């Protein structure tokens, strides 16, 4: 049955209507969870607010397990969904650069958008930076094109690379997430005592 659009069960126009509705739900959940505040987001790196870790890892394990069930029941053909491709060296550098951007800027792209609409000017400036960064990337692209396409593993999954099956990965992530929730809760309790200007 699924995925509906790739299987031709809904038209391209309907797919875009769903895109807007899905976006509305995504934006709502991000804002309602507290991701529209850079100080909430940065808290995960200083131990005073682990909301990012909680929302992020809960979402990942729910989606992983859910997708496996959907596949098992035959509702969703996982061979027809998009798997993010892997280009080793460029994505390693990209991840590191984004991490530095995160600790300096306090947002990631999606969270900055949710902060703009509730009136945060720092988020607006961050978003302007996004456009500049992408424009700059396109300008230097001719010089780094070789690097950009290097180490192409195609649409590699964890199973392709490690030989360990997807259910085991889902199980492993779930265990790690539960331990992380517990440990981060302990850390947060301690660190929050030192922070006085911030009510939780």
Partner 1 sequence: MKKSNLNNGTHYINPYLGGVLMGLLMIVTIFISGRELGISGAVKDTVVEAAHIISPTAAKAHPYYGQYIKEGRSPMDSWLVFEVLGVFIGAFLSGIIFKRVRKPFVEHGPNITSRRRLLVALIGGILWGFGTRLGRGCTSGAALSGSSTFSFGGVMVMLLIFASAYLFAWLFRKLWT
DSSP state of 80: G
* Given 18, 72, 175, 189, the residue binding partner 1 (CB under 8 A): 18
Burial (CB < 10 A; 0-12, 13-18, 19+), residue 24, is exposed
- 177: its two tokens: 């997430």
Smallest gap from Cβ 200 to partner 1, in A, equals 9
Asked whether the beta carbons of 102 and 110 are under 8 A apart, the reply is no
Q: Which of 94, 178, 179, 190 binds partner 1 (CB under 8 A)?
A: 94
DSSP secondary structure code for residue 152 in this structure: E
**What does the per-residue mask of binding to partner 1 show for 111-130, with x meaning CB under 8 A?**
xxxxxxxxxxxxxxxxxxxx
Instruction: Return the structure tokens found at 149.
Output: 């396409």
Does position 186 interact with partner 1 (CB under 8 A)? The reply is no
Q: 3-state class of 106 per DSSP?
A: coil
Q: Which of 57, 52, 35 is closest to 179 using CA atoms?
A: 57
Query: Minimum distance between the CB of residue 186 and partner 1, rounded to whole angstroms?
Result: 16
C-beta of 38: minimal distance to partner 1 in Å? 6
Q: Out of 73, 146, 161, 186, which residue is the one contacting partner 1 (CB under 8 A)? A: 161
Q: Contact between 58 and partner 1 (CB under 8 A)?
A: yes
Pick the binder of partner 1 from 72, 174, 182, 196 (CB under 8 A): 196
CB of 89 to partner 1, least distance (A): 9
Per CB under 8 A, the list member of 72, 80, 179, 189 interacting with partner 1 is 80
- The 10 Å CB-count burial string (b at 16+, else e) for 69-101 is ebbeeeebeeeeeeeeebbeebeeeeeeeeeeb
Q: Is 87 in the site for partner 1 (CB under 8 A)?
A: yes
Distances (CA, A) of 49 to 39, 124, 186: 9, 23, 11
Q: What is the nearest approach in angstroms of partner 1 to the Cβ of residue 93?
A: 5
Asked if 36 interacts with partner 1 (CB under 8 A), we say: yes
**Nearest residue (CB) to partner 1, 20 versus 186:** 20
């Amino acid at each position: 049955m699924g995925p509906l659009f790739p299987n031709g069960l809904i038209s391209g126009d309907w797919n875009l209507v769903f895109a807007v509705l899905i976006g509305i739900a995504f934006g709502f959940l991000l804002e309602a969870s507290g991701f529209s505040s850079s100080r909430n987001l940065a808290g995960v790196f200083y131990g005073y607010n682990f909301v990012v870790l909680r929302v992020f890892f809960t979402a990942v394990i729910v989606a992983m397990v859910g997708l496996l069930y959907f596949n098992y029941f035959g509702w969703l053909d996982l061979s027809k969904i998009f798997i993010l491709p892997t280009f080793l060296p460029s994505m390693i550098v990209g991840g590191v650069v984004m991490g530095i951007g995160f600790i300096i800027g306090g947002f990631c792209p999606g969270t900055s958008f949710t902060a703009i609409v509730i009136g945060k000017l720092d988020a607006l400036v961050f978003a302007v930076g996004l456009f500049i960064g992408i424009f700059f990337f396109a300008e230097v692209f001719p010089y780094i094109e070789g690097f950009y396409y290097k180490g192409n593993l195609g649409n590699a999954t964890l199973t392709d690379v490690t030989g360990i099956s997807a259910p085991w990965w889902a199980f492993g992530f779930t265990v790690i997430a539960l331990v992380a929730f517990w440990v981060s809760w302990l850390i947060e309790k301690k660190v929050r005592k030192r922070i006085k200007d911030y009510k939780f």
